[in-house]
Structure 1
Amino acid sequence: MTSARFPRNARVRAKSDFDRIFQHGRRVALPVLALHWQSSQDAPRLGLAVSRKVDPRAVGRNRIKRVLRDTFRRLRDELAAGDYVVVARPPAARADAAELAAALRGLLQRCGALGTSGLPLTSAPGTMPAASPSVPIPDSGRG
Structure 2
Amino acid sequence: MGKYVFQKNERLLKRAQFLFLSRHGKRMQTRFFLVNFKENSLEKSRIGITVSKKVGNAVERNRIKRMVREYYRHNKDLLPGRWDINIIARKYAAQLTNRQIPDELGRLFKKIKRPSE
TM, length-normalised to structure 1: 0.75
Which position in structure 1 is the counterpart of 2:16? Answer: 16
Q: Secondary structure at the match of 2:53?
A: coil
Which position in structure 2 is the counterpart of 1:74? Answer: 74
AA paired with 1:109? K
1:2 CA displacement: 4.4
Q: Secondary structure at the match of 1:60?
A: helix
TM, length-normalised to structure 2: 0.91
Structure 1: tracts of 5 or more residues without a match: 113-118, 122-126, 129-143
AA paired with 1:59? V
Mapped to 1, the partners of 2:85 and 2:2 lie a distance apart of 18
Which position in structure 1 is the counterpart of 2:38? Answer: 38
Which position in structure 2 is the counterpart of 1:4? Answer: 4
Instruction: Tell me the matched-pair count.
Output: 115
Q: Which has the larger radius of gyration?
A: 1
AA paired with 2:105? L
Return the structure number with greater relative CO, CA threshold 8 A, min gap 6.
Answer: 2
Structure 2: tracts of 5 or more residues without a match: none
1:62 CA displacement: 0.2
Mapped to 1, the partners of 2:65 and 2:99 lie a distance apart of 13
Q: Answer 1 or 2: which has greater helix percent.
A: 2
Which position in structure 1 is the counterpart of 2:92? Answer: 91
1:90 CA displacement: 1.2
Mapped to 1, the partners of 2:76 and 2:87 lie a distance apart of 14
Percent same amino acid among aligned pairs?
Answer: 29
1:21 CA displacement: 0.3
